[in-house]
Amino acid sequence: MTFFFHSRTMKRLILLLATLVALPLHAAEKLTVAATAVPHAEILEFVKPKLAAEGVDISIKVFTDYVQPNVQVAEKRIDVSYFETGPYLDEFNKGKGTNLVRIVGVHIEPLGAYSSKIKSLAELPDGPSVAIPNEASNGGRALLLLQKAGLITLKDPSNPLSSLRDIATNPKHLKFKELEGAMLPRVLNQVDLAVINTNYALDAKLNPTKDALAIEDGQSPYVNFLVGRPDNRDAPAVKKLAAALTSPEVKEFIAKKYQGAVLPAF
């Protein structure tokens, strides 16, 4: 009887040890994600529990600018980023010599023109001050919106990277100020009009569907992408994040929370 007891005990101990040894193999995969606060980090927080249940522990690093997230992904200090449009990524890769890649498109943030001084674009005086983003992709996007609103025309009406030099006609004599995107909501009371990215507008408590005097529609080509590197785009944890961000649950979350200010792109 004594031998049988010890034998059974030993089997249990061996089984317990085997289980403990195997635990690291099933530990959560770590994934760091660079994002801007609204809506990207909010959407990531929404999918965090779902990913945890699938064995992926995401750490969300919030940035206020559009440069450092990609720099840190390229330098492998962060795994992936979620904040940017395709044209911005292309321009960043070209300018910085990086090779970051699109993984999946998640949502569209319609760019809007805002004012604290007028209620409609028809009220714009002659020679108004207009603030737009100071980098190529969002600056060109702002000019396309102003063209669509009838305030200017461009030499190439479809060029997403048009600059101020590409303005063909400017009948109201708009006076442009090019500023960093995050600064635009802060100067709203200092200019007649500011063209602001929706993430910064939402962060400043502006409601794009109510406050914007002109806004992109759902046909905008400026989809916000989950972005990574060629070496990790197919990693299991990254694939799980991509699937979570394009799930029916996220589509419903975006529709309810942002009420048209952010639109699903899937």
Q: In this predicted structure, which of 14-23, 81-90, 104-113, 166-175 has the lowest mean pLDDT?
A: 14-23
> What span, in angstroms and rounded, lies between the C-alpha atoms of 117 and 193?
8
Tell me: pLDDT of 4 over 60. Answer: no
Mean pLDDT of the chain: 91
Tens of pLDDT, residues 34-46:
999 999 999 999 9
Q: Rounded mean pLDDT of 163-168?
A: 98
Residue 252 has pLDDT above 80, yes or no: yes
In terms of pLDDT, which residue wins out, 18 or 173?
173
Query: Distance (Å, rounded) from C-alpha 155 to C-alpha 137?
Result: 17
For residue 199, pLDDT beyond 60: yes
CATH of domain 23-109+222-264: 3.40.190.10
Q: Max CA-CA distance within the chain? A: 102
Give the model's pLDDT for residue 52: 98
Domain spans of the chain? 23-109+222-264, 112-215
> 130, 188 in Cβ contact below 8 A?
no
pLDDT at 219 (0 to 100):
72
Residue 162 has pLDDT above 50, yes or no: yes
- Check for a shared fold between 23-109+222-264 and 112-215: yes
Tens digits of per-residue pLDDT, 96-105?
999 999 999 9
The pLDDT of residue 68 is 97
User: Quick one: average pLDDT of 229-244?
Assistant: 98
In this prediction, what percent of the chain has a pLDDT beyond 90? Answer: 81
The pLDDT tens digits for 209-227 are 999 999 997 677 789 999 9
Q: Is the pLDDT of residue 90 over 80?
A: yes
Q: Is the pLDDT of residue 200 over 80?
A: yes
pLDDT at res. 28: 83
Write out the CATH class of domain 112-215: alpha beta
Note the pLDDT of residue 206: 95
Distance separating alpha carbons of residues 260 and 183, to the nearest angstrom = 24
In the predicted structure, residue 260 carries a pLDDT above the cut 90: no
pTM for the model stands at 0.78
Q: What is the mean pLDDT of residues 198-212?
A: 93
pLDDT at 8 over 80: no
pLDDT of residue 27: 72
- pLDDT tens per residue, range 117-145: 999 999 999 999 999 999 998 999 999 99
pLDDT at 221: 79
